[in-house]
Structure 1
Amino acid sequence: MSGSASFIAVDWGTTNRRIFRFDGGAVAHTEHDDRGAASVTDFAGEVAAIRERFGDLPMLLAGMVGSTVGWRVVPYVAALAGVDDLVAGLGWIDDRTAIVPGVSCSKNGRGDVMRGEEVQLLGAVAGWMVPPDALLAQPGTHCKWATMTGGRIAGFTTAMTGELFALLRGHSLLAGSLTADVTDSEAFREGLAEGARRDLAASLFGIRAASVLGLRDDADAASFASGVLIGADVAARMDDCAFEQVHILADAALGDLYAAAVAATGREPVIVDSHSAFARGILAIGDKAL
């Protein structure tokens, strides 16, 4: 594909998706909606509808569209994985539509997988947003921590940090106390310090005790709980971190919370726009595949 060629890319998550049209090596238009893979039954129809709106162009699909809840299961590429490996592992639906494969890793009997995040990781390097050797964090429902070596994904760890917070807020003993918005407040910073102790089960019950005894206002409980979870997640990753900088691929709000947690460990956080990273990564794949 030449740099002037046009194509469509979809970052297709479980509950949401973002659609990009590229012209001349740049994003010409983008849309975000809630038509995630879990809510779609007719993927061929969805792709046809996207082409009606964005143009009858080649398409690259990334994320959960290649999983068991998606259109077709595309096997993972094993780390060490770079752009060329993803291109070789593309799952072609037809001669103009392909699914990016995702990446897996295994070490000491522990396996891990990602779908969609690999495009951001490789795009951050390809777009000179991060150095080729780096530690990258991707906060979210399932936070990814990836080590990049020579611009390739060498290994990674997934933490269910965001999902745990959602479960606590929706279904736990603490739910009634966790109704306020999370902010980078004094309570959040206190939670970071508590989470760094990594006695997670006890720290979380302490939120209930603080509410009952009047030791903390319930208005601060959600921020404290988020701090505990993020603080534990970040502290665990810093034990064997060889980098002074930690690059965080995220939107501003969540990125700022993780940046505060990273800074509390003495490292320097650097926030990278995740949508720009995805765009650069899918362009790198498209240049070789389309």
Structure 2
Amino acid sequence: MSDLAWIAVDWGTSHLRVWLMDGAGRVLSRSESDKGMSKLTAADYEAALLELVGIDLPSDVQIPVVCCGMAGSRQGWFEAPYATAPCAAPTIEQATRVSTQDSRLDVRILPGIKQDKPADVMRGEETQIAGFLAAEPKFDGVLCLPGTHNKWVHISAEEVVSFRTFMTGELFALIGGQSVLRHSLGADGWDDAAFLDAVSEGMSRPAALGCDLFALRAESLLHGLGPVAARSRLSGHLIGMELAAARPYWLGRDVAVLGEDGIAKAYMSALNAQGAMPRAINAEDITLRGLTAAYTSLKDAQ
């Protein structure tokens, strides 16, 4: 592949995404695998990357590889230090260079961001933030980054001012897969009305979460609550509780949700119901834009 100039890598907890890029920022190919951080030891990363790249790399040059995400975690390929909020999104100058057995690879892992008080961390999202700000440098508001650990990030003057993380997605998976509610929930499907009713309940009385969740089991036994409605209501209760706690972030602010499908749609629906008027941004596009901005800085510095 003679046009290959660099490789962009987004290494998550459960998935790995790789883009082969030319020098003009065009995608030559995209691939992904399930070899995320949770399935690898530090010694496995290089082989997992080469397997997914799937081509014969040129033997006479080093190919820059720009990584974001969990490859830089303590359990990842090599721990990359955090920048400290408030701060601008980290740049390639702050990246950690990783030694590889294959001399054709020049791997750099972008740092995450930490917040000392209240204690919080992010890895990967900072690159999405950089990609978002590359397109909207004057943005002053809040980014909602849905995922297993949902983040609310206050952005002003091109800096991450503060952020909070909620384990809402992980709680949904644990409760839905390991609690008594697993007998009442569907594996898929969506009931938006049931979801929004539960969001309202979760916001208005978050302290009642424990009894409201058991009521889902009781309603399925006594009143025939369907598995799709039960699943949607579980999500609604948890997201409603999160929105109540995160109200200082989204209330009265410009809110952008980084994502368009799945759980991002649920956050959009919940926020719209509260009059927040969020807008959806393609998360993969801004991740790649953030990685491209990092590579461009690297190229300009050479």
What is the TM-score when the length of structure 2 is the normalising length?
Answer: 0.86
SS in 2 for 1:268: coil
1: distance between equivalents of 2:159 and 2:27? 24
Unmatched tracts of structure 1, length 5 or more: none
Find the counterpart in structure 2 of residue 206 from structure 1.
215
SS in 2 for 1:178: coil
Find the counterpart in structure 1 of residue 18 from structure 2.
19
Deviation at 1:55, TM superposition (A): 4.1
Q: Report percent identity of matched pairs.
A: 34
Find the counterpart in structure 1 of residue 270 from structure 2.
261
| Partner residue of 2:85 out of 79, 84, 101 | 79
Deviation at 1:236, TM superposition (A): 2.1
SS in 1 for 2:223: coil
2: distance between equivalents of 1:55 and 1:133? 42
Cα distance, 1:33–1:49 mapped onto 2, change above 3 Å: closer
Cα distance, 1:180–1:154 mapped onto 2, change above 3 Å: same
Which amino acid is the alignment partner of residue 66 of structure 1? G
Find the counterpart in structure 1 of residue 95 from structure 2.
90
What is the TM-score when the length of structure 1 is the normalising length?
Answer: 0.89
Find the counterpart in structure 1 of residue 123 from structure 2.
115
| Partner residue of 1:106 out of 107, 116, 121 | 116
1: distance between equivalents of 2:262 and 2:124? 21
1: distance between equivalents of 2:189 and 2:219? 18
More displaced 10-residue stretch of structure 1: 164-173 or 38-47 = 38-47
CA-based RMSD of the aligned residues comes to 2.2
Find the counterpart in structure 2 of residue 170 from structure 1.
177
Deviation at 1:161, TM superposition (A): 0.7
SS in 2 for 1:70: coil
The answer to whether the Cα contact below 8 Å between 1:182 and 1:226 also exists between their aligned partners in 2 is: no
Which amino acid is the alignment partner of residue 283 of structure 1? T
- How many residues in Structure 1 have an aligned counterpart in Structure 2? 283
SS in 2 for 1:80: coil
Unmatched tracts of structure 2, length 5 or more: 100-104
Aligned ranges 1:11-50 → 2 under 5 Å: 11-23=10-22, 24-41=24-41, 42-50=44-52
Deviation at 1:51, TM superposition (A): 5.0
SS in 2 for 1:247: strand
Which amino acid is the alignment partner of residue 17 of structure 2? R
SS in 1 for 2:262: helix
